[in-house]
Amino acid sequence: MNYNNSARYRRTPQRPECGLHEDEPVIPQSKLQKEVPSFPLSVFPTAIRNIVETLVEFEHFNVNFIAASMFTTFAAAMGNRWTVRFSATWVERPIMYVALVGYPSCGKTPLLRLALSPLLNLDHEYDREYCAKLKAYKQWGAKSPKERAALSLPEEMERPRRRCHVVVDATIEALIGAMRDNPQGVILYSDELESLFANFNRYNSSDESYFLSAFSGTPFKYIRKSADEHIFLPNPYCSIFGSTQPGRLAKQFGGERVVNGFSSRFLKVYPDITDMPTWGTERMPDGVMEQWERIIRKVVTFDFKGKEQPMELTFSLEAHRKLCQWKESVNNAI
C-alpha cells in the first residue's frame, strides 16, 4: 500500500519565527526539501498493522497519525504493569508524551478519540460501577449502628474511589488523585495541547517541573494541608497525548522549554501532509475497531497470576546492539 502523497502539492517547510532556532544560517531550499520519514508499520504485530492499514485505506486517515495514536494508547494500556531493562541500573516504563502536529481539518482529533476509545469505554464501565458503590456507601452512612447491625451491614465502610485510565485536561491535583486511584497509570488527554499548557503555573508554580520529572516516573509525594491529605506515588505513570498546529510549535515548545528539556520529552508527529483527508464512499469492513477494543482490553486486564510486581522485559543481544547504534547515531547528529 502506497502512503506517499503527491509531490505536486508538497508544501515548503515552515520555519518558526522564534524560540526553536536562534541565529540559524539560511539553508538552501534544495537542502530543506528532504523526504519526511513515515512511521515504520513493520514494528507492529500483524493484527495491529492490519487495523492501521484498513483505517488508512477506507477512512483516509494519515498513516503516521493513526499509527502513533495506537502506539501511544497501547503504551498507556500497559502502564505500570510492564517495564524494560536497558542496563543493570536502568529500567524504563512506557511513559510517552506525544503531540500530533498538523493544520486544522487534517484529521487529528478523530484519530485521538478513535485510538483512545477502548480506554474511554472502560472508564465508562468503571464510572457506572463507581456510582453503584457510591450509592451503597451513602445508604450505609445514613443508617445508625443499630440499623446496620440489623441489616448485617459492616461496621466500617470505605468510601469508593473512581478509577479511570483517561484524564481530560485536569489540574495537577486531580491528576495525582487519578494516579492514586489507578496505580496502573493514566494518560492525560488534551485535544488541543494549548489548553493544557495554558493551565501550567496557573494554580501552582511547579506544574511544568512536575511534568519534567513525571516523564521519568520519579516517585512523588503530595501533601494537601487543607484536607490533611498525604499521597505518595512510588511509581507514578502518566502519559500525555494531544495535538497542536504548526504555528503554535515555537510558543509551546520553544524558548525555555528547549533549554530545560521539556520539548525533548515530546514525540512530535509532524507528517508532510499535502492533501487534506477525503470522504470515501467505500464502507470499512465490519469488526475492525472491535478488534482494536479486544486488543487493548486484553492488555489492560492481563492476568499476572496475583503478582503485584510489574513484568520486566529484556532486550535480546541483537536488539540491544541496534538500540546502542541508534543512540550513537542520534548523539552524532546532535
Per DSSP bridges, beta strands 266-269 and 97-101 are parallel
pLDDT, one tens digit per residue, over 203-239 is 555 788 889 999 998 888 887 655 667 888 888 999 9
* Alpha helices, DSSP H, located in the chain: 29-32, 46-59, 63-78, 108-141, 145-150, 172-181, 193-198, 207-214, 249-253, 256-259, 288-300, 317-333
DSSP state, residue 303: -
Q: Residue 97: pLDDT above 70?
A: yes
What is the 3-class SS of 93-109, one letter each residue?
Answer: CCCCEEEEECCCCCCHH
User: Hey, is 308 helix, strand or coil?
Assistant: coil
Phi, psi of 223 (to 5 degrees): -125, 120
Q: How far apart (Å, rounded) are the C-alpha atoms in residues 98 and 211?
A: 13
pTM score of the predicted model: 0.82
pLDDT, one tens digit per residue, over 29-59 is 444 455 667 888 998 999 999 999 999 988 8
Q: Residue 19: pLDDT above 50?
A: no
pLDDT, one tens digit per residue, over 248-274 is 999 999 999 999 999 999 999 999 887
Mean pLDDT of 167-188: 89
Q: Which residues pair with 97 in a beta bridge?
A: 240, 266
Cβ-contact 273, 4 below 8 angstroms: no
Q: Which amino acid is at 65?
A: F
Most confident of 1-10, 128-137, 221-230, 281-290: 128-137
pLDDT value of residue 16 = 41
Residue with cell 538500540: 323
Cα→Cα distances 41→265, 281, 289, 294, Å: 22, 25, 18, 20
Mean pLDDT of 289-302: 94
pLDDT value of residue 156 = 87
Q: What is the DSSP string of 135-183?
A: HHHHHHHTS-HHHHHHTT--S--PPP----SEEES--HHHHHHHHHH-T
pLDDT value of residue 244 = 95
Q: How far apart (Å, rounded) are the C-alpha atoms in residues 263 and 254?
A: 7
Mean pLDDT of 98-122: 92
Q: Residue 319: pLDDT above 50?
A: yes
Per DSSP bridges, beta strands 229-233 and 238-244 are unpaired
Which cell goes with 259? 533549554
73 pLDDT tier (thresholds 50, 70, 90): very high
Following CA atoms 50, 52, 55, 60 in sequence, which dihedral angle do they give, to the nearest 10 degrees? -130
pLDDT value of residue 151 = 86
pLDDT value of residue 201 = 61
Q: Which residues pair with 168 in a beta bridge?
A: 189
Q: Which residue has the higher pLDDT, 92 or 14?
A: 92
Q: Residue 309: pLDDT above 80?
A: no
Kindly report the average pLDDT of the chain as a whole number.
84
113 pLDDT tier (thresholds 50, 70, 90): very high
pLDDT value of residue 153 = 86
pLDDT value of residue 308 = 63
8 pLDDT tier (thresholds 50, 70, 90): very low
Domain ranges of the chain: 7-22+43-144+158-275+288-333
